[in-house]
Amino acid sequence: MQESVARLVGAEVLPLIQRCFEEHRFPQELIPKLASLGLLGSSLSGYGCAGLNAICYGLICQELERGDSGIRSFVSVQSSLCMYPIWAFGSEEQKNRYLPPMARGELIGCFGLTEPHGGSDPANMKTHAKKRGGDWVLNGSKMWITNGSLADLAVVWAMTPEGIRGFLIETGTPGFSAPEIEHKFSLRASVTSALFLDNVVVPEERVLPGVRGLKGPLSCLTQARYGIAWGVIGAAQACLRQLLDYTATRTLFGRPLAANQTIQVRLADMARRITTAQLLALQLGRLKDAGVMHPAHVSLAKWNNCRMALDVARDCRDMLGGSGISAEYVPIRHMLNLESVITYEGTETIHQLTIGRELTGLNAF
């Protein structure tokens, strides 16, 4: 699986991703190719999904993010944040209606949890849904929604008198809008949107019946954070690979940069950190496949591996000298993307406090 995705990234992603980043454009032409390899909902079973194990899914994320965080984010949102809640909490009618076309890439999803004022406190949710006869009426807004302007289906979490519930909103529904967020300097090859809900009517059969409360959206984030812990390794690998080539051919003071002790120490330290992150992700995948992975395990891996990847990208950018600020070289693109990845789906501080709570038994949130 890793080799198949690596070939796809080499043949289809790398030739166009720099231009897409510069043009602030997500390469939608890649969606059928991602679907043809079974990468959408790959860890789910049935309903046209591949049913791969957790380590396979992790390696998929690693190879995709070696291309660009925006490509991995697309697959992660489609798979872990949209298909997973339908698979885990949906009715049979909902699963049969939505999952097969989502696996084929014919129906794109987005995940509406974060709100403009909420950030790390999703329980402070203002988007609300009220019952009206056999329907629900939703009002509110969501922010920083990957795939929002592309999506055919939005999995939106809203406060109801019964607690937080998940709603499946087809994006052509009156009152629903998803304007794209422009002027980003990170994840430029990804679609990021706001969602606005103005008296959006959702029938009861489009409400996820299997979960209530924050457990629903947080369980989705656990799935997605697992993929992030693997994905960022690919970004770091791409940066190190380019630095090995660059320092071997760049001559300074009569010899290649790679012949300098300082350069070798920095490259060796990158290899140490990448390898450590891979082993952490591998053990996490084994725990997930065994059914004993805890959300705190995911917090530790997301925190460690995102910090590793961002530090490696920054160091590679520095070692390129003036060339480091050019998109002709990958570290600046990965570095800018990773500034978002280390923030979304739980900031570094949130994951640190999660581990602190596990260690002390005291909640510092």
Beta strands 192-203 and 176-177 are: antiparallel
Catalytic residue among 182, 205, 345, 348: 345
Query: Would you call 163 helix, strand, or coil by DSSP?
Result: strand
Residue-wise DSSP of 174-230: TTEE-PBP---SSSTTS-EEEEEEEEEEEEGGGB-TT--STHHHHHHHHHHHHHHHH
Cβ atoms within 10 A of the Cβ of 276, count?
A: 13
CB-count burial class (<10 Å; 0-12, 13-18, 19+) for 297: buried
Using CA atoms, how far apart are residues 107 and 35, in angstroms rounded to an integer?
Answer: 11
Quote the radius of gyration of the chain (alpha carbons, Å): 21
Q: Is residue 156 within 8 Å of residue 206, measured between CB atoms?
A: no
Using CA atoms, how far apart are residues 11 and 245, in angstroms rounded to an integer?
Answer: 20
The candidate with the shortest Cα–Cα distance to 148, out of 171, 118, 129, 165, is: 171
The candidate with the shortest Cα–Cα distance to 152, out of 141, 128, 168, 136, is: 168
The candidate with the shortest Cα–Cα distance to 155, out of 145, 163, 28, is: 145
Q: Which amino acid is at 263?
A: I
345 included as an active-site residue: yes
Using CA atoms, how far apart are residues 316 and 314, in angstroms rounded to an integer?
Answer: 5
Q: Which amino acid is at 343?
A: T
Active site residues: 345
